[in-house]
A and B are shown apart, each in its own frame.
Chain A
């Protein structure tokens, strides 16, 4: 939002405060008067869902930290202490562990929505890149948090992931030793991972602030991909319209979250993580949390360790280049017949990589992981640049209001379009 505020303080106190700190007008402009395109579908409630999940993770996490002990000899037992002896501790821990999964589920839907509707295109490049940074920090936070219960998977996932840095030529081993605070995952590692796991969500919170700020400067994209032309005809004020729609979106999402937390809390976990970490016993299959699986599949698809690590990080970061890789001037896949199909192929390939990441890297699994990993990069690096130039788009509506019109309906009646 730019331009002078439309907020007028009503009480004497509000006028007094407004002259000293214009926080009321800030909140009013950002969350009350802020114009939102009226054609947003429920995929646009995932921003609010993600904000809710971040707060939920911080609240449950802070309480869990009050009862957790980051010491290798005590960590596993302190988690069981939470499960058994802390009032509502089991529910808190399950809410936090499943909350991480719900957070990632929501962020993946949010990212794919952005890809489908071209939300990364001019002028939303910075907004999009901030989003990719948020995703990376989320991954770091999730990985660090998974180490804390100090189960077998915690320990061995930490070992495998920190070991990736040793692939860096010359300084790799020094970096790994520096990260671990020793030559293997041990008490110094657990201590710093706990400290960082507590720190990163607040950094995340700050970047989310920038993300929302950038969003309020450019305004939201919408399913038609057409910019707002007429505030009156194309948008509705954030409150009450978007607030209630977001609340409903959060509510329905919470039904899933509640189901996972209370009824199938260990579904997304691994049984081995209920075995205390043992540096002398390697589990037969080391599997990361489900939300890392597609990237894990890409890492293992490449026979060279250094190249595998590069591919892993490239796969995570390449979406940041989308605003420049996608050469099409049309934002929304609605009007891009070919892109629309390739988008779903890309979704299928991503899910396929996720499946393969959970399988042993051998035989057919490895072969398909290689094919899919190659396609993943092909989609970004070859397909999108060519598609934007070659594809013949379908006609794009003139405005958001026009995109809502059905043929034959008149555009009269106070500029409202009946659909």
Chain B
């Protein structure tokens, strides 16, 4: 066919055009992102080191305990953590308090129970099997008390937050060795350390605070942490940044209490599968050795 070289030339032109298109999408994506990025848009969260990052990462028990202290003394006055039970605090791969410690933590909370035989609701001290009671009886009560704001439940907050990494970084986030699963805790830590006075001319309604990591840079939560606000028993620095990291680690544990177990089982499964694949490879080669292909 004489058409062939002509078609080939046409094809080359076409594919060059297409390659150009693809390239320009890739190049223009960050461009148009920065175009719309005025001062109103939030900053990309900072990255922190986490003991639980990576395939071999595990929770740092001391850090999770410190984070629990921050939660109890600061966050718990407004934020519920309803999926978490007191007994979870004693389980391995977390703060892992002793049985007595868990029981006494539970007993320090008042749990609404009932109705009793007289038909009345009553309050009793918490038991390890109870879940953390919410600070407000309803969303309406929370909003009424907090000037209209409703603090989100913290049970899975560390997994419910994140940020877009953009092309091509998001592709690397799944790769062994580079895997990045900690967007949520990085975001929360950044947010807690992201308060400052608003820049000149920034329109900030009353009851809102300036935070450069919050969407729109406005947040209803007043800066919750201040240096020295929570007393640590050990020599860990009592700074906002340290508190922010510790509470984030605690929230990650609360959101994913079986992370340690999952990763160690996973390592076993992966090792087994690798060996099994090796055996399968040799068996397959042996089976196929009389077939030439």
Binding site for B on A (CB under 8 A): 38-39, 77, 80, 83-84, 90-91, 94, 236, 240-241, 244-245, 247-248, 251-252, 254-255, 258-267, 271-272, 274-275, 284, 338, 341-342, 345, 348-349, 352, 355-356, 359, 363-365, 368, 371, 375, 390-392, 404, 416-419
Contact = CB atoms under 8 A, between A and B. Distances in A.
Given A38-B291, A91-B262, A248 B280 contact: yes
A274 B284 contact: no
The 4 closest A-B pairs by CB, nearest first: A262-B266, A274-B160, A271-B162, A251-B277
Contacts of B173: 264, 267
Given A262-B262, A352-B25, A271 B184 contact: yes
Contacts of B256: 83, 90
A404 B280 contact: no
Interface in B5-64: 7-8, 11, 15, 18, 21-22, 25, 28-29, 32, 55
A240 B285 CA distance: 11
B145 interface: no
Interface string B259-293: 00011011101100110110011011001100111
B189 interface: no
Contact of B174 (A83, A252, A260, A338): A260
B88 to A, nearest CB: 7
B160 A255 contact: no
A348 B15 CA distance: 11
A262 B269 contact: yes
Contacts of B181: 264, 266-267
Nearest to B276: A251
Given A245-B284, A267-B181, A419-B293, A355 B167 contact: yes
B155 interface: yes
B131 to A, nearest CB: 10
20 contacts: A90-B256, A236-B291, A244-B283, A248-B277, A255-B273, A262-B269, A262-B270, A264-B173, A266-B181, A267-B174, A267-B181, A271-B184, A274-B157, A275-B152, A341-B11, A345-B18, A348-B22, A356-B25, A363-B32, A364-B28
Given A91-B262, A259-B176, A262-B262, A272 B280 contact: no
Interface in B155-185: 155-157, 159-162, 167, 173-174, 176, 179, 181, 183-184
B257 interface: yes
Contacts of B174: 260, 264, 267
Contacts of B255: 274
Nearest to B88: A84
B292 A404 contact: yes
Contacts of A263: 55, 176, 179, 263, 266
Given A245-B288, A341-B11, A375-B18, 7 more contacts: A83-B256, A84-B258, A244-B283, A251-B277, A363-B32, A364-B25, A365-B32
A341 B4 CA distance: 14
B266 A77 contact: no
B128 to A, nearest CB: 14
A386 to B, nearest CB: 9
Contact of B284 (A39, A80, A244): A244
Contacts of A244: 280, 283-284, 287-288
Interface in B172-224: 173-174, 176, 179, 181, 183-184, 215
Contact of B292 (A91, A271, A419): A419
A368 B215 CA distance: 27
B195 to A, nearest CB: 22
A86 B85 CA distance: 14
Given A241-B288, A263-B263, A390-B3, A364 B29 contact: yes
